[in-house]
């Protein structure tokens, strides 16, 4: 007879887990989350992340305003969001616990740095009583771990001062979670040695803290077992874990290489776009030139000047910078030169929410210039898609001789996911096709160059960088005569030029792919989105289909012009739901362009949609199909702080579970704790591990 017993110390297999690291903005939570993510990527998991940090450079320590968090979702299957709710919260102090506890489902695991739960810190976080002892956490599994004291203790004989050693407690937390979810530690140990090679004491403290956290999980016997999320099945290739901003920077380099144009970035630092500047500045070997200007206007002015000189001119910013760049964008439209304006959207208006996400600049991108000044708009939908979207935006700018707006946002910019590196030779070629000879014979029979003679197919004018003999020409913001490019004030010419510029942009619809629709036969509801809502929409659609309903999904990358077949696509469905992290901007555009009765589903809380809220909104539309006539046209489905729509009820069926063990407390996977008199829950005999094949 074969032995079928299982080693009690072997990792328990699970298909996914969502972990949130939270602490002070100086506690290194972004670093801990990033290293856990990198290790998981090396292991082969599919993953998605959501860094969430305050706008203040250094808010008062221990306060709610200073809480910084990093959420990572790892799985053994394809996922599209960083998860609705964490299965595990690592809270480094009372403020981190209070700021994040409401996002946890019943039965979730809470691992706290118990050393930080002292009276002063509790008061700063707004606690009147210690939540670790008042029973308020009885619905969760709570593990009290002395992270700070162990970290300082293991560094004593290394000559590290206690206050300096305390800063390494994030590595203790990282080591503990690495053990709990069976992450290999060699890569992190190597990274610490390389990162802090010039600071031996810091390196030693971090190494000791990381190893102490790992061995604490292994030896303390608080946890019933460790857990293992096996690698996801991915297409063969070389993968890298990439943020949206890094993907954008690499896309610019690739576009420069494929077009043969030197890359020039003229920019002014602004959150959350600055990382594009930082990344590009590392790659001068590709001919990249970065210019940190004194202000936003100078940045785009320099980029436009570079475009006139025959370079790939790019400027990066966020919403407030777009306000300042608008006049020069109008100049670029008049000059009809390739220019890429990258807007990493954030919460507004004004300074708004600098570190929080929003996609509320769409109407600004469409209409935020005086006069009739259309330009193409391209929007990225995932962190890795920022590469492809950047390449496409450059292609359109160069081919059609126009400034192009590329829209991303803080969620995509800072979020990460695995990305398979493409073969450079497989990327589309971008031909600048510079003018090389004269193109007109004047009345005297002389061969001359006219800068506004247009290509018959694209209506693009020739691009003639200065320095080519015989191609000298005049440019400027005053209206130009059709063909010659001379200054012209007459009304008929102005109307002709205005209509030609508009027709050129409208004609791009013939050069972009048709609308891609993920449809199921019999679907009467279409969910259509743009930008970073893609992940939540895809997850919500997946959930709805898992419940036996039919629903179609489409996601727009080209927002001006729209794909040529979009009107026909919208007309095939009885109800069109448009989720947006704004107050319904795409919905307004679709209603105006196609006279379709769209339904907006919106939120503006500085965070992305949750899949559960998306599921509820879709179900509401499906169930309302039998009584459409009673609905108000253009119903606005707002979102309440819990993330669920106000009109539909949020579906049940949260599949989140909790880590089992013999720590301070344990709740069953259904979220119903095994109550005891001390206010905490006690472990069950057979705890259910974190799962969630249906939910994200």
Rg (CA), the chain: 28
Let me know whether 276 and 213 are in one domain. Answer: no
Q: Return the minimum-mean-pLDDT range out of 106-120, 518-532, 649-663.
A: 649-663
597, 612, 637: which is the final residue of a domain? Answer: 637
pTM above 0.85, yes or no: yes
Q: How far apart (Å, rounded) are the C-alpha atoms in residues 90 and 109?
A: 9
Q: How far apart (Å, rounded) are the C-alpha atoms in residues 314 and 403?
A: 10
Cα 613 to chain centroid distance, Å, stands at 18
Task: Return the H-helix or E-strand segment holding 587.
Answer: helix 585-594
606, 621, 637: which is the final residue of a domain? Answer: 637
363 pLDDT exceeds 70?
Answer: yes
The count of other CB atoms within 10 Å of the CB of residue 517 is: 16
Indicate the pLDDT class of residue 669, thresholds 50, 70 and 90.
Answer: very low
Within a domain: 680:
no
- Position 57 scores a pLDDT of 75
Taking residues 628-647, what's their average pLDDT?
A: 40
Q: How far is CA 530 from CA 19, 177, 474, 542, 582, in A?
A: 27, 35, 39, 18, 11
- Position 8 scores a pLDDT of 55
- Position 624 scores a pLDDT of 82
Determine contact, residues 484/496, Cβ cutoff 8 Å.
no
Burial degree of 469 (CB within 10 A; 0-12, 13-18, 19+): exposed
DSSP output for 355-373: TS-----HHHHHH-SSSS-
Q: Look at strands 67-75 and 16-24 and give their pairing.
A: antiparallel
What percent of the chain is predicted at pLDDT more than 90?
84
The span from the first CA to the last CA of the chain, in angstroms, equals 41
Let me know whether 190 and 336 are in one domain. Answer: no
174, 193, 224: which is the final residue of a domain? Answer: 224
Q: Give 673-682 pLDDT, tens digit per residue.
A: 332 333 233 2
Taking residues 338-360, what's their average pLDDT?
A: 97
The count of other CB atoms within 10 Å of the CB of residue 641 is: 8
Q: For helices 611-623 and 534-546, what crossing angle results, to 10°?
A: 60
Q: How far apart (Å, rounded) are the C-alpha atoms in residues 566 and 594?
A: 9
Range of the domain at 615: 517-637
Number of domains in the chain: 3
Q: How far apart (Å, rounded) are the C-alpha atoms in residues 536 and 531?
A: 11
599 pLDDT exceeds 50?
Answer: yes
The CATH number of residue 148's host domain is 3.40.920.10
Let me know whether 325 and 212 are in one domain. Answer: no
Indicate the pLDDT class of residue 52, thresholds 50, 70 and 90.
Answer: very high
Within a domain: 142:
yes
Which residue has tokens 């209409």?
367
Within a domain: 663:
no
7 pLDDT exceeds 70?
Answer: no
Let me know whether 282 and 411 are in one domain. Answer: yes
Within a domain: 232:
no
Within a domain: 446:
no
Q: Give 370-399 pLDDT, tens digit per residue.
A: 999 999 999 999 999 999 999 999 999 999
Let me know whether 418 and 528 are in one domain. Answer: no
The CATH number of residue 601's host domain is 3.40.50.920
- Position 638 scores a pLDDT of 52
- Position 127 scores a pLDDT of 97
Within a domain: 450:
no
449 pLDDT exceeds 90?
Answer: yes
């Amino acid at each position: 007879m074969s032995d079928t017993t299982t080693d009690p110390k072997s990792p328990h297999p699970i298909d996914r887990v969502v972990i949130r690291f939270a602490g002070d903005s100086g506690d290194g939570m972004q670093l801990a989350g990033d290293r856990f993510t990198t290790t998981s990527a090396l292991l082969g998991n599919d993953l998605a992340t959501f860094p969430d940090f305050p706008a203040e450079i250094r808010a008062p320590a221990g306060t709610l305003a200073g809480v910084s968090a990093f959420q990572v979702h790892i799985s053994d299957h394809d996922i599209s969001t960083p998860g609705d709710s964490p299965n595990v919260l690592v809270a480094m102090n009372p403020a981190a616990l209070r700021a994040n506890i409401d996002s946890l489902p019943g039965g979730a695991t809470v691992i706290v740095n118990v050393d930080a739960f002292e009276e002063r810190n509790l008061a700063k976080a707004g606690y009147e009583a210690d939540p670790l002892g008042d029973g308020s956490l009885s619905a969760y599994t709570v593990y009290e771990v002395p992270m700070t004291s162990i970290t300082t203790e293991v560094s004593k004989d290394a000559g590290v001062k206690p206050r300096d050693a305390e800063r390494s407690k994030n590595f203790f937390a990282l080591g503990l979670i690495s053990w709990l979810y069976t992450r290999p530690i060699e890569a992190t140990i190597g990274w610490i040695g390389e990162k802090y090679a010039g600071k031996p004491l810091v390196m030693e403290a971090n190494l000791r803290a990381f190893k102490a956290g790992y061995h604490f999980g292994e030896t303390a016997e608080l946890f019933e077992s460790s857990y293992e999320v096996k690698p996801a099945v991915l297409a063969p290739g070389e993968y890298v874990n990439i943020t949206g901003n890094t993907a954008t920077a690499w896309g610019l380099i690739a576009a420069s290489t494929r077009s043969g144009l030197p890359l020039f970035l003229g920019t002014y630092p602004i959150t959350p776009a600055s990382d594009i500047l930082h990344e590009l500045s590392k790659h001068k070997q590709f001919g990249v030139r970065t210019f940190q200007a004194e202000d936003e206007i100078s940045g785009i002015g320099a980029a436009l000047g570079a475009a006139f000189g025959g370079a790939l001119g790019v400027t990066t910013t966020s919403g407030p910078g777009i306000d300042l760049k608008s006049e020069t964008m109008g100049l670029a439209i008049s000059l009809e030169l390739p220019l890429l304006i990258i807007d990493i959207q954030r919460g507004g208006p004004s300074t708004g929410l600098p570190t929080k996400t929003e996609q509320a600049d769409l109407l600004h991108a469409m209409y935020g210039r005086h006069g009739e000044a259309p330009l193409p708009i391209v929007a990225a939908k995932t962190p890795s898609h920022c590469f492809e979207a950047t390449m496409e935006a450059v292609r359109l700018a160069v081919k059609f001789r126009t400034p192009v707006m590329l829209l991303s946002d803080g969620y995509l910019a800072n979020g990460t996911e695995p990305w398979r590196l493409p073969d450079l030779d497989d990327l589309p070629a971008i031909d600048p096709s510079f003018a090389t000879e004269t193109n007109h014979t004047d009345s005297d029979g002389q061969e001359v160059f006219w800068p506004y003679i247009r290509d018959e197919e694209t209506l693009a004018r020739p691009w003639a960088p200065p320095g080519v003999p015989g191609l000298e020409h005049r440019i400027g913001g005053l209206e130009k005569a059709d063909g010659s490019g001379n200054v012209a004030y007459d009304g008929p010419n102005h109307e002709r030029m205005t209509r030609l510029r508009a027709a050129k942009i409208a004609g791009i619809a013939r050069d972009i792919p048709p609308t891609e629709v993920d449809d199921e036969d019999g679907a009467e509801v279409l969910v259509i989105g743009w930008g970073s809502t893609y992940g939540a929409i895809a997850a919500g659609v997946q959930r709805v289909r898992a419940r036996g309903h039919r629903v179609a999904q489409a996601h727009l990358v080209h927002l001006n012009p729209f794909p040529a077949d979009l009107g026909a696509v919208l007309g095939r469905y009885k109800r069109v739901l448009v989720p947006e992290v704004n107050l319904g901007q795409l919905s307004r555009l679709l209603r105006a362009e196609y006279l379709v009765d769209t339904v907006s589903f919106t939120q503006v809380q500085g965070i992305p949609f949750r899949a559960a809220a998306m599921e509820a909104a879709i179900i509401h539309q499906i169930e309302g199909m039998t009584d459409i006539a009673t609905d108000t046209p253009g119903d606005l489905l707002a979102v309440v702080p819990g993330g669920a729509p106000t009109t539909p009820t949020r579906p049940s069926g949260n599949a989140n579970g909790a880590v089992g063990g013999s720590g301070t407390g344990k709740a069953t996977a259904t979220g119903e704790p095994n109550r005891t008199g001390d206010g905490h829950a006690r472990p069950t005999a057979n705890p259910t591990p974190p799962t969630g094949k249906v939910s994200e």
